[in-house]
Amino acid sequence: MIKRLLFLFTFCSSILVQAQYTSVINSNRPGLSESPYSVGSGVYQIESTLFYRNVPFVETFSNPESFGANLLFRTSFLFEKLEFNLNTTLSNDKIGFKNVFKSSYNTTGFSRFTLGAKYMVYAPTYDDKSKEIRSWKARHSFDWKRWIPHVGVYAGINFGSFLSDFHNKGGITPKVGVLLQNEFSDKLNVITNLFYDNIGSDFTEYSYVVTGTYNFNDYWSGFAEIQGVFEKYQNKSSIGAGAAYLFNENLQFNASLRGNFEGNEFGVTSAIGVSYRLDRHEDKFAELDEFGNKIEEDKPIKYDENRGFFGRMFSKVKKLFKKKQGKREQKVDLDISPNKDEKEVRTEKPRRRRQESLIDVISKEDEKQKKKTAKADKKAAKKAQKKAEKEAKNAQKEKEKEAKRKLKEEEKEAKRKEKERLKLEKEIKELEDEIKKEEEKEKKKKEEKKKKKKDGDN
């Protein structure tokens, strides 16, 4: 079941533009980046992480050691593309002082509390290479449109008034960001985030995160990530890697390890986490019959015998004041002639309409089913005929192609033989010319010899 769900999510994530919901949990952990996709309406998702961070002391005040838990809550209820989230961290921090002497103390409290929302602005569509049957090269070629990313925007508010003193950065401050995601293949995707945080305070910062995720199989995936944070007083960066394991469609476990560069110091952060979602998502769709008409459920009929005593009593009282459709019609003869019987009053009851029998209902349903089956058989026969015609055309094309190939080979062989014949004729001619030249030389020599002999006799 999980394999089928993963297969469906992997191949549909690139074509579902309106729907953000996926049949398998879509977690941002264990990385620090955030996908532009929403969790989908009716989904309540928690992504928790336990972390330990250790960095050497730096000059003056610093935070060399931290241990705590990060909690990210995500949900969507207004629009499929709109997500609301709460990102908070509770940590025990070691605050260190290093100047002439070295000292430290521990404090426990919130180090982050941010309410945010993100919205998917643009989602490109990619070509389905699996349907390409004419060319193997075209089917396995790279779709260059995959360089066009999915685009989301983020806006949030940082609440710093109740954070610990070391992490308080100006009370309530806004945070904005741009979320990008490139799906280079069914297994590889790259997420890029750009954030502008603590706007308007003395601790304004710019940051970026680039995360590459690769799915090894239906259960395991790995990631590599790089982050950079640019503050007024200090710049930070980190490089991390990790893995995630999908336990089922609603539960994921993950772990990560990253190296932190803070100023001239290098530290390590390790983390393990779990992501879980409560899935209450319902797809909105209309059920249609075989003729394309919307199927509506019949309202349940309430019978008096299913009610209690007081319910039946009030129902009967209500019926006294309610005009019945099948009420009797009384026709009274107003003729008051003496020959007319005074007691003659004709009362006519309404005609009863015969209810449709169960056999008629079953017959109609059977007729509908027969029509549907006949239509499906006709469609299948037509499809099979088209397939046969296509195969016949392909076979004819192959025969023509083979005949052309043979004709080309014969022409090529004929040209080769003609070329050899011409070459042989040329060689014979050259040989004849050489023999002729030799004969002429011999003839000239003989004449010269005769002439010398004749001159010598004289």
57 Cβ contact partners less than 8 Å away, ≥ 6 residues apart: 64, 96, 98, 102, 265
Is 80 exceeded by the pLDDT of residue 384?
yes
Cα torsion angle, 444, 448, 449, 451, sign: positive
Please report the pLDDT score of residue 114 as a whole number.
95
- HSE at residue 153, side-chain half, CA atoms within 13 A, is 4
What is the topology classification, in CATH, of domain 2-279? Porin (2.40.160)
Give percent of the chain above pLDDT 70.
76
Instruction: State the Cα–Cα distance between residues 345 and 332, nearest whole angstrom.
Output: 6
What is the band of 17 on the pLDDT scale with cuts at 50, 70, 90? Answer: very low
Instruction: State the Cα–Cα distance between residues 257 and 272, nearest whole angstrom.
Output: 9
378 Cβ contact partners less than 8 Å away, ≥ 6 residues apart: none
User: At 370, which helix (H) or strand (E)?
Assistant: helix 358-457
258 Cβ contact partners less than 8 Å away, ≥ 6 residues apart: 225, 238, 239, 240, 241, 268, 269
In this prediction, residues 73-93 reach a mean pLDDT of: 93
Query: Which pTM does this prediction carry?
Result: 0.57
Nearest alpha carbon to residue 269 among 222, 221, 236, 233: 236
Cα torsion angle, 233, 157, 183, 127, sign: negative
What's the pLDDT tens digit per position in 437-455? 888 888 888 888 888 887 7
What's the pLDDT tens digit per position in 286-331? 566 665 666 665 555 555 445 565 566 666 666 665 544 444 444 4
Q: Are 331 and 348 in contact, with CB atoms under 8 Å apart?
A: yes
Instruction: State the Cα–Cα distance between residues 152 and 118, nearest whole angstrom.
Output: 7
Nearest alpha carbon to residue 113 among 151, 155, 167: 167
For 251, counting Cβ atoms within 10 Å of its Cβ (0-12 exposed, 13-18 middle, 19+ buried), the class is middle
Please report the pLDDT score of residue 87 as a whole number.
95
Give percent of the chain above pLDDT 90.
36
In this prediction, residues 410-424 reach a mean pLDDT of: 90
CA distances from 84 to 41, 45, 163, 275, 326 (A): 11, 11, 21, 17, 57
Pick 54 or 140 by higher pLDDT.
54
Please report the pLDDT score of residue 271 as a whole number.
96
User: At 287, which helix (H) or strand (E)?
Assistant: none
Where are the domains positioned within the chain?
Answer: 2-279, 389-432
Please report the pLDDT score of residue 458 as a whole number.
66
Cα torsion angle, 381, 384, 386, 388, sign: negative
